[in-house]
Amino acid sequence: MTFEEIKSTLVSALGASIIRKEEVTGLQPALFIDAENLLPVCSFLRDTEGLYFDFLSNITAVDYEEHFTIVYHLNSLPYQHTLVLKVELETNRSLDELPEIVSITSVWRTADWHEREAFDLMGIYFSGHPDLRRILLPDDWEGHPLRKDYQDAEKYHGININ
């Protein structure tokens, strides 16, 4: 199934407003959706015959300074097609109030570690995640190292880092 056919199936079932915009340049075309539509779109993509996106291969977050983008790479192993979904989140640079999006661990269990990594390194909060905690850095680490405004720590527990 082509990108256009997947998009058409999604629009037919959920309406044209489900897609905010699309990106057709680059290696993989992508559909942009609103954060509040993420769970229903993902469930539809997984459960619909002919689509059956049964594998979430990756989640990543990108810091564009004016907003964060969460990128989901989906695959249908039986039908051998792929799709990239993107969700833009308003920038919130406060470490006390992280940008938030719903967890999709209820749709694909593999989202568990991917979301923890995005939380740890970029500071995106995934509401409803069953065990959202740091996965690569110590629990008491300050900040999120993949953010563009991250300041490298000089010491950690009295030990020089740099």
| CATH number of the CATH domain containing 139 | 3.30.460.80
Give domain status of residue 155, yes or no.
Answer: no
Split at pLDDT 50, 70, 90, the class of 161 is confident
Domain membership of residue 159 (yes or no) is no
Distance CA 128, CA 119 (A): 13
11-15: average pLDDT: 97
Domain of residue 17, residue span: 3-147
161 inside domain: no
Task: Give how many domains the chain has, as a whole number.
Answer: 1
Beta strands in 64-120 (DSSP E): 67-76, 81-90, 100-102
Per-residue model confidence as pLDDT tens digits over 131-159: 999 999 999 999 999 999 998 888 888 88
Structure-token pair, residue 21: 């915009």
In-domain check, residue 162: no
Q: What is the mean pLDDT of the chain?
A: 94
Whether pTM exceeds 0.75:
yes
Query: Cβ distance 84 to 73 under 8 Å?
Result: yes
Mean pLDDT value across residues 76-92: 94
